[in-house]
Structure 1
Amino acid sequence: MPLVKVSSNVKMHYIVPSSPDPNKPYIYPSRPTIVMLHPRFFDSHFFAPQFRDGRLTKAYNIVAIDHHYHGRTEAPLDSKPYDFDLVAKAVLGAMDALKIKEAHVLGNSLGAQIATMMAMQAPQRVQSLILIAQNPPVEDEENREQFTFLKESCYDRADDGSDQLASDVVQALHWIYFGDDPSAQGVIDEWVVTTKFRPSNRKLIDKIFSAVLDRRPIDQKEWDKITCPVLIVHGGEDVPAPPAVAQEFHDLLRKADREMHIIDGAPHFLTHTHYRQVNPIIEDFLDKVTGVDSRQAILLSVPQTLQLLPDCHKSISKKPSIFGRFGIKV
């Protein structure tokens, strides 16, 4: 469970599920690298359904990073609005520290927005973008009112007075992000118990919701910096960002070779709920842009040169994983 130092006051937690040894993670220099960025609220273990997919972990290096204010990453928590530029720069800094010169960057929801900013800041380092459930460039007034109400509701303690979210708030989050998928209930229940996102931590609540409420329009010239291949995957039943949002991003990314898929019936966190449909789309796209045959990689076990990640991290105690029930070792 390593941390990588990005600056004097930021240490980013990362995992390498494609490496059999979680304590001494390594990458294969011969494989393309995918950097994965999770959505709001959860951490990198959110991608457990992708971590257990052999087409990804046997054919590619997978490096998942907890970005600011999530998971085990250590970063100052202030009262300023959420800063996408700062977080994107930090993820690029983590890639520097890990000696990852370039990568294919995948993000879900908030992670997709960070991935987009990375491609604008350092287009030469982002080989392709996989944007899943990207949020609108700016929330409309109706969404802003609803998210403001939801934020303020997060200040209320649980029905029994404990320092956990109230049951109606948890139910609302379930519906907004996972739809009516019953398989998410156990994941959410465990998150409620283990998360730092609690009524007593108002500064964290404000910061996370700031990523929704304080977004600003991005000039078209910034979008035009993105020329790498782009995959857009979106849920047909996405509550906070309906499919029209995916089309909007498709149009903004006019300089890129882009591909778009709308998954019928899928909610916002579709990498979890609809991974059986989403994973093959991701894998086929990556195979196309990299020339890798991920199906063949599952069948072959060819010795490869290893590259240990730099000794610029420290071990930290392992916490119970939200997705531990999937049997993923991290």
Structure 2
Amino acid sequence: MPCVDLYSSADYASIFYATNTPHANVGGFDSEKPTIVILHPVFLDSTWLDLQMGDTRLNAQFNLIAFDMRSTGQSTCRPSGRHDNWVDAADLAFCFQNLHLPPSHILALEGSSVCCALRFAILFPELCLSLTLVNVPAPTELKWIYKNIDELVHAACFAEDTEHFEQAAFECIEFIFGPDSDPDLVDELINYWELNHSPSKRVRVAETTSLYINRSPISPEALGSITQPVLIIQGEKNQLCPMKFAEKLVSQLTGVEEGPVLYDVKGGTSMISVVSGPASTVNNVFYKFLKRLPHRRSELVPPESSVRDRMRMALANLAEITGDPDMASLDPLCSLSFCCLGQDVIQGQSDLLKHYHKGQASALNPEGPLRTYSQRNQEGWSYSEIGTPSLYDSSIYSERSGKHDLERLQKNSGRSESVLTNTESAHNPLQKMAFVNSMVERAAKGSSGKGTGNPSLPSHRKS
């Protein structure tokens, strides 16, 4: 199995990767072709990149390599409360140097991948030819999204039988992908969750979820240091990643010559890189963007400086960005040294992982053959069977829902809501995630129309 092993005294991770070469390793790269590094969508892994890896425009003209982040897919790691997006960026840099990858175009698909790609471009600009960011999220998670994902992931991770796990997974997928997703896609997603996000693997799920919902913003000064060409592709009707945050990022990327290119996918919602119609649009826009940039060969040569020296330089840069000079003296060969979380957040995430670890060995582990979720009889299913209001029969409330309706639901459920906000959780932000029993809110339902075909990409500068 192709992977990069990262060892240090305080950490261990094995980062899996996949390529479009015949033998699935970087040794088969064509030196005449540029290289694209693809970062997968949140809660998924590199096996969900067929729409990108199999696109003839990309597959025929570029070397393609995709990595599973440390707590997802076939990658493995020692669970840690210090895992944040800067750590992911350091993991990616170690992979580049250990595999002798050339400077590459970065394609970041949704959520945590976007956050990682921005940080990678800041700390390792010489390795990044361009940035393409698909569905830029808010700098910090919106309260109503935080609470929804919190509740739904917890319900899936602590389900005691397959029925309740599948229903919780369905609700979470519906929230992330939208209520009008193709049934075949939903079936495939639920089967994937049964194999990869079951209660028997809930520590990994908790770490991935914490990484996503507990992200922190990048300073305007750090964003202004990015000089690579940038393309941002945003779903026009994306409720989870509203267009205003993509537009704000465009205004903050002041170091990009002539500014970033922002393209909105008409009718696109969330996870547009996974749904075939919008994904084709994303690929088309991305391909046209790359064709306007100078051609770069892909020579697999060792880096000029040692890995230790380059990572020490990156730590020193991060120390300046954060205003914490002590970071520069940390172990440069440990990805966790790049963590920028506050101590209270680290403690909260560590406590959360401990809570999720309890009973994991004996937790539910669905085994094949897996059934088709859409064909099961859902009549009468309700969370009320386990003493909780049904998410299937009632709505999940959005940010704009009336306070009166929420109070009515609280009264009917016979329990008071534990509302989790970024402000209230600042003391111990994610420890509460495991214990919250709130009624959750539903995103305002937007249209999930297919993306437009044959888009016209705005002209781009030559760099």
TM-score range, shorter chain: 0.7 to 0.9
Match of 1:34 in 2: 36
- 1:16 aligned to 8, 16, 19, which one? 19
CA distance in 2, matches of 1:275, 1:43: 16
Structure 1 distance, partners of 2:27, 2:57, is: 19
- How far the C-alpha of 1:105 sits from its partner, in A, is 0.7
- Given that 1:5 and 1:97 are in contact with CA atoms closer than 8 Å, whether structure 2 keeps it comes out as no
In structure 1, what is the equivalent of residue 351 of structure 2? none
* 1:248 corresponds to: 248
Q: How does 1:1-330 map to 2 (within 5 A)?
A: 1-8=1-8, 9-17=12-20, 19-22=21-24, 26-78=28-80, 80-109=81-110, 110-157=112-159, 161-162=161-162, 165-177=165-177, 180-182=180-182, 183-195=184-196, 197-256=197-256, 257-273=259-275, 274-291=278-295
TM-score calculated relative to the size of structure 1? 0.81
Match of 1:6, SS state, is strand
Structure with the higher helix share, 1 or 2: 2
Q: Which has the higher strand share?
A: 1
TM-superposed CA distance for 1:259, in Å, is: 0.6
How far apart are the structure 2 equivalents of 1:153 and 1:177? Answer: 18
**Alpha-carbon distance change, 262 to 191 in structure 1, aligned in 2, over 3 angstroms:** same
SS at 1:154 equivalent: helix
Structure 2: 5+ residue stretches without partners: 303-367, 369-463
Question: Separation in 2 of the partners of 1:291 and 1:305?
Answer: 10
User: Secondary structure of the residue that 2:238 maps to in structure 1?
Assistant: coil
Partners of 2:298 and 2:100 in 1: CA distance: 16
| Alpha-carbon distance, 1:306 to partner | 9.2
Going from structure 1 to structure 2, the CA distance change for 1:164 and 1:2 (only over 3 Å counts) comes to farther
The alignment partner of 1:272 has SS state of coil
Deviation at 1:184, TM superposition (A): 1.6
Shift of 1:305: 10
| 169-178 or 243-252: bigger deviation | 169-178
Residues 27-59 of structure 1: CA deviation (Å, up to 9, x unaligned)? 111211111110122111211011111110111
Tell me if structure 2 keeps the 8 A contact 1:164–1:199.
no
Please state how far the C-alpha of 1:163 moved relative to its aligned partner.
9.3
CA distance in 2 between counterparts of 1:75 and 1:69 reads 6
Distance 1:166 1:92, change over 3 A: same
Compute the displacement of 1:140 (Å): 2.5
Q: CA deviation at 1:248?
A: 1.8
Looking at both structures, which has the greater relative contact order when contacts are Cα pairs under 8 Å and sequence separation is at least 6? 1
Distance in 2, Cα, partners of 1:23 & 1:89 = 21
SS of 2:121's partner is helix
CA–CA separation in structure 2 for the residues paired with 1:47 and 1:108: 10
Cα gap change, 1:162 to 1:147, in 2 (>3 Å)? closer
Once the two structures are TM-superposed, the CA of residue 135 in structure 1 deviates from its matched residue by 1.5
| Aligned-pair Cα RMSD in Å | 2.6
Deviation of 1:175 (Å): 3.8
- Cα deviations by residue, 1:103-161 (Å, 9 ceiling, x for unpaired): 11111122111111100111121110010112111122232222322233233316xx1
Query: Counterparts of 2:247 and 2:96 in 1: how far apart (Å)?
Result: 30
| Identical amino acids, percent of aligned pairs | 21
Give the number of the structure whose alpha-carbon radius of gyration is greater: 2
| Contact 1:164–1:198 (CA under 8 A) maintained in structure 2 | no
If the length of structure 2 is used for normalisation, what is the TM-score? 0.59
Q: Distance in 1 between matches of 2:266 and 2:41?
A: 20
Between the aligned partners of 2:301 and 2:227, the Cα distance in structure 1 is 31
Q: How much does 1:249 deviate?
A: 1.6
Contact 1:108 1:132 (C-alpha < 8 Å) held by counterparts: yes
2:39 and 2:108 in contact (8 A); partners too: yes
**For residue 76 of structure 1, what is the amino acid of its counterpart?**
R
Deviation (angstroms), 1:234: 1.1
CA distance in 2, matches of 1:136, 1:25: 38
Shift of 1:228: 0.4
Task: Using the TM superposition, give the Cα deviation of residue 164 of structure 1 relative to its aligned residue in structure 2, in angstroms.
Answer: 7.5
SS of 1:212 mapped into structure 2: helix
Letter in 2 for 1:147: I
